[in-house]
Structure 1
Amino acid sequence: MGRVIEAHELTKRYGRTTAVNALSFSVRPGVVTGFLGPNGAGKSTTLRMILGLNAPTGGTVTVDGRPFRDLPRGLRHVGALLDAHDVHGGRSARAHLTALARSNAIPRRRVGEVLDEVGLTSAARRRIGGFSLGMKQRLGIAAALLGDPPVLLFDEPLNGLDPEGVLWVRGLFHQLAAEGRTVFVSSHMMTEMEHTADHLVVIGRGELIAAESLTEFAARGARQSVTVRAADPAALTAVLSAEGASVERREDGSCAVTGLSAARVSELAFEHRVLLHELTTETSTLEQAFMELTADHAEYRTGESR
């Protein structure tokens, strides 16, 4: 059922500003693919180019080998949630979905089905302007599902959802992928994708940083470091450095050691009669790996003057 999204050298410039630069990646069916990057990385621009809302300056992007604009009755081919606020606040949820169904030749019964699926049946006749952000996100997901499409795109879909809603959305994405659909989910938070995605496409400042499975990306964060506090930090640094370790002296007097296990650090300190006051092991998280990988590609960094 699923279809491949294929971007090749995709580029978008606005005057002298390059939002997306020679970006190439594939999104395949059967897995949830997370689209990660710091704010301002070019994720939303890329999604808009996939949907034909923005024309590329260069390169191509296709769905099942064709530009989205060439696909008749688009909601039957690709469902998308780009901005939960981009709806007419004076309409009811049912009226909004009914209009979309009519314009895409989708059976009207689908309106009731998707409202039920996202938990908005009781609010179907309420005006959207009175909805919370979480309810608008659910309505946007309902609109994406309306045409029962093989390809689904979501831009920051977890914003505004309560914990129950987050769990529901994660389960929904995995269910859609298990049905053989292509599911592409944008976020700037690694912690969200850690529990949602199977595969990752990571970009920064419009350029590709990584395209790999979550397992492969997790290996980047599988580094261990040892925090040690010694009576004589200089002596310990010399001992550990001679053994090939990397030692970083911190302002609080402790040392961060990489390249040696905690057990080996303890053995060396004992052999050279260096008294230790503290010895702990720290394992890098996926979030830390993501932050390190995208640090040079963030549009804004804390403490950076502009």
Structure 2
Amino acid sequence: MIEVEHLTKRYGPTTAVRDLSFTVRPGHVTGFLGPNGAGKTTTLRMLLGLVAPSGGTATVDGHSFRHHPRGLRHVGALLDAHDVHGGRSARAHLRALARSNRIPAGRVDEVLAEVGLTGTAARRRVGTYSLGMRQRLGIAGALLGEPPVLLFDEPLNGLDPEGVLWVRELFRRLAGEGRTVFVSSHLMSEMEHTADQLVVIGRGELIAAESLTEFAARGTAPTVTVRTPDAGALTMVLTAAGAEVSTYDEETLRVSGVSAGRVGELAFEHRFLLRELTTQAASLERAFMELTADSVEYLAGADAGEARGAGAELREVRR
């Protein structure tokens, strides 16, 4: 189990992590989400003792990682797939890790087979690897000591679709074995298919620590998309029925406040031709955009206005 309590990290006048507290429990894949610059990597590095906190604690099973002898037997981590000596082969790299942590040498070939780096790939110099192969090697290193706790920072970068599916199934299996699996990622669609719990931060502060379902439900309610050649007239009918209507283009409307079924009934009653009637359900991505709108460090053009506007609307509703 991972426990973070009032964790803070300052770099001069900049506070990267501020009074952060959360718990990551075994038996779950917990996604660690936040905009760029939110403090995710700094938090993971403090968990591993690579960065000293300015305040608070970050512990694994009640102890600082520094106090765990033979660390790879307690925590396996992939923080940077490029942090490997390029002149070594994959097998040599893992053998060095195994020796330093008193892990049987036979375990090296087991994890290489598990991540798909066997034969020639295992003997190649890491400097010749693609990013996807480096990610697989990093995952092999994390699994080497069969630890109960695993940390991964953006492990899907550089993987092809087959690799993404493999990682998704791997994380689920590890959690099913009762391990603690903590995964930082910016890929909302993947987290939606992989994680069952979330820790979400922005500007170094906690935004949410809850199940994926609970977090996604905090976003905007489902909306209905309607396409009709009589958009103006249908807008008047829907508004009179209590719906809120906005316009995508001359024929397409976004409707909230009534169900798709009710929109269809009103269109039928008033003889409107519909070319599209679909429901856009609440999603992790939409909830993430809304709830982190004020925490995004860099926003571009229309995306900035949309994200901040969505966040403002949500805060107004909650007052």
Tell which deviates more after alignment, 162-171 or 236-245: 236-245
Check the 8 A contact 1:36/1:189 in 2, yes or no. no
* DSSP-derived class of the 2:292 partner: helix
Structure 1 counterpart of 2:298: 300
- Matches of 2:198 and 2:30 in 1, distance apart? 5
Aligned to 2:178: 180
Report the residue type matching 1:182 in the other structure: T
Q: For residues 83 and 231 of structure 2, what CA distance do their matches in structure 1 show?
A: 61
Q: What SS does the aligned partner of 1:184 have?
A: strand
Are 1:56 and 2:53 matched, yes or no?
Answer: yes
1:134 aligned partner, one-letter code: G
2:5 match: secondary structure? strand
Q: How does 1:201-216 map to 2 (within 5 A)?
A: 201-216=199-214
Structure 1 range deviating more: 48-57 or 245-254: 245-254
Q: Return the letter of the residue paired with 1:132.
A: S
Q: Give the unaligned 5+ runs of structure 1.
A: none
More helix by share: 2
Instruction: Read off the aligned partner of 2:108 and give its amino acid letter.
Output: V
Q: CA shift at 1:124, angstroms?
A: 1.9
Does residue 224 of structure 1 match 2:222? yes
Partner residue, 1:137: 135
**Distance of 1:263 and 1:232 partners within structure 2:** 17
Give me the CA root mean square deviation: 2.3
| Cα distance in 1, alignment partners of residues 193 and 145 from structure 2 | 27
Paired position in structure 2 for 1:37: 34
Which one of 149, 152, 162 corresponds to residue 151 of structure 1? Answer: 149
1:15 aligned to which of 12, 16, 28: 12
User: Which of these residues, 167, 170, 178, is aligned with residue 169 of structure 1?
Assistant: 167
1:87 has 2:75 as partner: no
TM-score for the superposition, normalised by structure 2: 0.86
2:72 is aligned with 1:72 = no
The offset of 1:8, in angstroms, is 1.2
CA distance in 2, matches of 1:75, 1:141: 12
Q: 1:37–1:106: structure 2 CA closer, same or farther, 3 Å change rule?
A: same
Q: Which has the larger displacement, 50-59 or 257-266?
A: 257-266
Indicate whether 1:198 and 2:196 are aligned: yes
The change in CA–CA distance for 1:241 and 1:58 in structure 2 (over 3 A counts) is farther
- Which residue in the other structure is 2:44 paired with? 47
1:13 deviates by 1.6
Contact in 1 for aligned 2:202/2:296 (Cα 8 Å):
yes
Partner of 2:314 in structure 1? Answer: none
> How far apart in 2 are the matches of 1:38 and 1:18?
15
One-letter code aligned to 1:37: G
Deviation at 1:220? Answer: 3.7
Identity across matched positions, percent? 73
Q: CA deviation at 1:281?
A: 2.7
User: How many angstroms does 1:278 deviate by?
Assistant: 5.3
Q: Secondary structure at the match of 2:194?
A: coil
> What's the CA shift for 1:72?
1.3
CA deviation after TM superposition for structure 1 residue 156, in Å: 0.7
Map 1:253-264; keep pairs closer than 5 Å. Answer: 254-264=252-262
